[in-house]
Amino acid sequence: MRCSSMVDDGGRSFARILASNVFTVFNGVVGGCFILLLALGAWQDALFGFFVIANTAIGVVQEFLAKRTLARLAVLNSPLAVVLRNGSEIECAVEDVVVGDTLILRPGDQLAADAALIDAHGIEVDQSLLTGEAEPVSPKVGQEMLSGSVVVAGSGMARATRVGADSYAARITFEARRFSLVSSELRTSIGRIIRWLSLALIPIMVIVVNGQAQAAGGWAVVFSTGAWREAGITSVASIIAMVPAGLVFMTSVALAVGAVRLARSRVLVRELAAVEGLARVDMLCIDKTGTLTEGTMSLDRVELVDHPADGWQGALAWLATDPAANATARALAGEFGAALAGGEQPDVVVPFSSRHKWSGAHFETGPSTGSWILGGADVVLAGSGPGAAVRRRADALASTGERILVLAHTLVPIPHAEPHAPRLPRGLRPVAVIALGDRIRGDAAEILRYFAEQGVEVCVLSGDDPGTVAAVARAVGLPASGARVDARGLPSDPRRLADVLRTQRVFGRVTPEQKKAVVLALQSLGHTVAMIGDGINDTLALKHADLGIAMGSGTAAARSVAQIVLLDGSFARLPHVVAEGRQVIANVERLAKLSLSKTVYAIVLALTFGLLLWPFPFLPRQLSVVDGLTIGLPALVLALLPNSRPSRRGFLRRALRFCVPSGFVVAGAVILVAVAATVGARASSLQVHTLAVITLTLSALWVLVVLARPFTRATAAVVAGAYAGLVIVLAVPFSRDFLALDVPAPGLIAMAVGTSAAASIVLELIHRAALRRAGSSPDGAAPPGGTFAPDGIRSRLRLSESAESAPASSRGAREERP
């Protein structure tokens, strides 16, 4: 029986995507007004319908492309299964595994199907992705293991019992690839604003419609004379102005553009809100291997101790070529593989595990008679009197940044124990000290300096020797990296652990459970934590971090729980991801303030004219043009400009602190001019409309001026273009006729301009007061000592771009691994 394909996008069907983007509160309000105007024959006033169509199209296209991309990447990154067929081991795609296949299981493999264990050699299985329990289990022969489990130690074989859609892996893969919404403060805040407006819209609509009907002579007159049509159009104008259509639209544009840019940089983001999370991160937890170093070990030298026991080369060769050997031990295979004694097999084998951090084998007879243990000096020779000098030598070598292993020997057999808790034999004597080199990445120091400039602290969590880890940390310039901290001495109590983490940032001998505990402790200290990992031992920390980032070359388990995947495994991508995230989020926050100011003054105008029973001084088409000049067209540019301001929590509070008083000031200026023109100057309705358009545009443009700072050539051109647009709209006869405007007397124009100037001064004062309260300087930059460093970002982006274009050989073997 051939298994059904497991390569499914795990997302919604196209029909559900379309329905979820069409049937929204935003589209209901704006679309309803759009249809009403078309029914009234006022197509000129229905220009805002563009936002409904464009926003819906962007949402549908973005999610559909993400759905298709995730399905494609699921195929490209799908792990291969190793099966035994006709006596030979072959690799095949997961979807090609069939019931009855014999699966070959080694450390790092994720079970591709539900399978029954038929042979085991110290095998340990991590089921944390299924059960949430971190403790590995040691299944017995005949016991069924669920797909999605991960082999963390030992080896074995299992017969597939359920495959494809029938297996547990299908559900795991389905959920891992699902295009789901990540927690986003920005999106939550915008959604909250839309809900507030939705609740307030009905009573405001009643007030507005009644006000316009009364202003036209009362309900009886409206229906008898046909004036209800004009009253309906002006009512729609006041209602539609309250909906932040530009905010929803431009947020979609900014997020869509950010998604495209990141995809071009080989960064898979399951949902762009994850980039917002990275923009807010202030603590980055990393492993040493593959991030600070290239992740490929090579043998530097072997130092023999006094009179080594016979057969050490053969024993070392067996430990290095054992199918269950870890990557560090396998680095010795090239040098010692030829020394493997023909036919010599150990009687007892203890595979390497990150839990006990050593591997061993016992030979009853032959050249390598006795027990041979390979591991770190502090583990293998702990409490061993004869090994004290060797431990000191190993510590000295580790302080240079090398990874040090010790091969020890004893004639005492390895004690029989549970596979997940083996014990070292007595009488171990050191035989050889083995130094392995792991080259430091050439760009590691530069990348860490970038994060330091951006206010992001780095915490190194490595399973290697503390001295080695500390040496690498010093080499790349990590602050406070002089002290070596052995994680085995860390307290298990979360509060005491948090106290240690207030000062320490570099740890060696960290277990998978401790990585998770460190992440949780850092979160308890108020940090927003991102975890970068690629191995099985990182999955628990990736799951509990605020943001999980996996290397594309890492295990399927790590990729399945991460929100961001660096597909080429390049640590140099992170500065680009952070910069892109901060650009998107900072620009959207700026656009939100611009748009919400408009929502506030629209509500104030609607309620004022509705309650006072005055004619509303705008037509929908006029407000569409004002929105285009003050929000729409500038926002298209501002949303895509470089912006490296660090993202902070409290977006909604900051936005309302500026938008509410600004909206009242702009609305007050328009009301003052409309009343003065109507009552004092007795201007015509067309002239009142024109004066209201001038006052609203000039006042709202000053909101744009203060939010576009600090000025660059691009932002200055945007502002100048917006002011020029108002002049063109008023000067061109065709636009005046289309918008139903009339040029007022010079004195009335001067009144509108003067009132707008006074409103601009008040807006400037409000802006500066808000900045002082937030601790920023008037030009919008971060205060001294902050993390606003656009030059640093640009230089780091050049670094990551050069890494992308560099030959594969210069980027390290880690990017070359399949």
Cβ-contact 129, 170 below 8 angstroms: no
Exposure string of 693-721, with b = 16+ CB inside 10 Å and e = fewer, is bbbbbbbbbbbbbbbbbeeeeebeebbee
Res 484 pLDDT > 60 = no
130-134, 406-410, 537-541: lowest mean pLDDT where? 130-134
Exposure string of 432-463, with b = 16+ CB inside 10 Å and e = fewer, is bbbbbbbebbebbebbbebbbbbebbbbbbbb
What is the 3-class SS of 158-171, one letter each residue? EEEEECHHHCHHHH
In degrees rounded to 5, what are phi and psi of residue 193? -65, -45
Res 691 pLDDT > 90 = yes
Q: What is the pLDDT of residues 455-467, one digit of tens each?
A: 889 999 988 778 8
CB atoms within 10 A of CB 526: 8
236's tokens: 């729609």
Q: What is the pLDDT of residues 218-261, one digit of tens each?
A: 777 777 777 777 767 766 766 766 777 666 666 766 766 776 77
Cβ-contact 598, 658 below 8 angstroms: no
pLDDT of 809 reads 31
717's tokens: 């051109």
325-334, 546-555, 773-782: lowest mean pLDDT where? 773-782
pLDDT of 270 reads 65
What angle do helix axes 573-611 and 651-675 make, rounded to 10 degrees? 40
Q: Could you give the CA distance from residue 810 to residue 818 in angstroms, rounded to a whole number? A: 17
Of 16, 42, 502, nearest to 229 by C-alpha is: 42
Exposure string of 613-642, with b = 16+ CB inside 10 Å and e = fewer, is ebbbbbbbbbbbbbbbbbbbbbbbebbbee
**Tokens 């951090």, residue located:** 357
Q: Which residues does residue 533 pair with via DSSP β-bridges, in sequence order?
A: 550
778's tokens: 């008037």
Cβ-contact 261, 804 below 8 angstroms: no
pLDDT of 561 reads 73
pLDDT of 755 reads 95
What is the rounded average pLDDT of the residues 111-134?
Answer: 74
User: Where is pLDDT greater, at 754 or 350?
Assistant: 754
What is the 3-class SS of 652-696, one letter each residue? HHHHHHHHHHHHHHHHHHHHHHHHHHHHHCCCCHHHHHHHHHHHH
Of 45, 114, 287, 438, which one is the catalytic site residue? Answer: 287
What is the rounded average pLDDT of the residues 740-757?
Answer: 91
Q: What is the pLDDT of residues 165-187, one digit of tens each?
A: 777 656 544 544 444 445 567 66
pLDDT band at 800 (very low <50, low <70, confident <90, very high): very low
350-359, 390-399, 499-508, 614-623: lowest mean pLDDT where? 350-359
* Identity of the amino acid at 457: E
CA 444 to chain centre: 21
DSSP 308-328: PPTTHHHHHHHHHH-TT--HH
134's tokens: 């971190």
Res 96 pLDDT > 70 = yes
pLDDT of 693 reads 93
Q: Could you give the CA distance from residue 19 to residue 21 in angstroms, rounded to a whole number? A: 5
Q: What is the pLDDT of residues 142-162, one digit of tens each?
A: 888 888 787 877 789 999 998
* Identity of the amino acid at 398: A
Kindly list the structural domains of the chain, giving each domain's residue range(s) and its CATH number in brackets, ordered by start.
243-263+579-780 (1.20.1110.10), 266-292+442-577 (3.40.50.1000)
Active site residue 101: no
15-19, 34-38, 55-59: lowest mean pLDDT where? 55-59
364-378, 487-501, 550-564: lowest mean pLDDT where? 550-564
User: Where is pLDDT greater, at 632 or 807?
Assistant: 632
Exposure string of 178-208, with b = 16+ CB inside 10 Å and e = fewer, is bbeebebbbbebbeebbeebeeebeebbebb
**C-alpha pair distances (Å), 200 with each of 182, 203, 272, 604:** 28, 6, 30, 12
Q: In what order do the strands lie in the sheet with 102-105?
A: 88-93, 80-85, 102-105, 150-162, 114-126, 144-145
pLDDT of 663 reads 92
What is the rounded average pLDDT of the residues 568-578?
Answer: 80
Q: Could you give the CA distance from residue 697 to residue 607 in angstroms, rounded to a whole number? A: 20
pLDDT of 40 reads 73
Q: Could you give the CA distance from residue 423 to residue 250 in angstroms, rounded to a whole number? A: 62
Q: What is the pLDDT of residues 272-317, one digit of tens each?
A: 667 677 778 889 999 887 788 876 777 888 899 877 778 888 888 8
Exposure string of 489-500, with b = 16+ CB inside 10 Å and e = fewer, is ebeeeeeebbeb
The DSSP secondary-structure symbol of 74 reads: H
pLDDT band at 197 (very low <50, low <70, confident <90, very high): confident
Q: In what order do the strands lie in the sheet with 348-350?
A: 293-304, 429-440, 403-410, 370-375, 358-363, 348-350
**C-alpha pair distances (Å), 719 with each of 570, 583, 754:** 39, 20, 19
pLDDT of 699 reads 94
* Identity of the amino acid at 473: A
Res 683 pLDDT > 70 = yes
pLDDT of 694 reads 95
CB atoms within 10 A of CB 92: 15
**C-alpha pair distances (Å), 168 with each of 126, 147, 165, 543:** 15, 5, 8, 19
Res 603 pLDDT > 50 = yes
Res 769 pLDDT > 70 = yes
* Identity of the amino acid at 332: L
Q: Which residues does residue 117 pair with via DSSP β-bridges, in sequence order?
A: 158
16-20, 413-417, 444-448, 472-476: lowest mean pLDDT where? 16-20
Q: Which residues does residue 348 pair with via DSSP β-bridges, in sequence order?
A: 362
Q: How many helices (H) and strands (E) does the chain have?
A: 30, 20
Can you list the alpha helix ranges (DSSP code H) found in 612-632? 620-627
Q: Which residues does residue 137 pair with via DSSP β-bridges, in sequence order?
A: 125
Q: Could you give the CA distance from residue 305 to residue 312 in angstroms, rounded to a whole number? A: 11
184's tokens: 């986003």
Q: Could you give the CA distance from residue 500 to residue 168 in angstroms, rounded to a whole number? A: 40
User: Where is pLDDT greater, at 800 or 315?
Assistant: 315
pLDDT of 50 reads 66
* Identity of the amino acid at 190: I
Q: What is the pLDDT of residues 506-523, one digit of tens each?
A: 998 888 789 989 999 999
Cβ-contact 540, 128 below 8 angstroms: yes
Of 338, 301, 298, nearest to 321 by C-alpha is: 338
Mean pLDDT, all residues of the chain: 77
102-106, 412-416, 418-422: lowest mean pLDDT where? 418-422
What is the rounded average pLDDT of the residues 663-687?
Answer: 90
Q: Helix, strand, or coil here: 93?
A: strand
Q: How many C-alpha atoms does 348 have within 13 Å on its Cβ side?
A: 22
The answer to whether the peptide bond before residue 323 is cis (omega within 30 degrees of 0) is no
Of 638, 529, 547, 538, nearest to 590 by C-alpha is: 638
pLDDT of 347 reads 85
Q: Helix, strand, or coil here: 300?
A: strand
pLDDT of 179 reads 43
E strand spans, 347-501: 348-350, 358-363, 370-375, 403-410, 429-440, 457-461, 485-486
Q: Could you give the CA distance from residue 186 to residue 208 in angstroms, rounded to a whole number? A: 31
Q: Could you give the CA distance from residue 735 to residue 733 in angstroms, rounded to a whole number? A: 6
Res 587 pLDDT > 50 = yes
* Identity of the amino acid at 259: A
Share of the chain above pLDDT 70, in %: 75
Q: Could you give the CA distance from residue 568 to residue 266 in angstroms, rounded to a whole number? A: 7
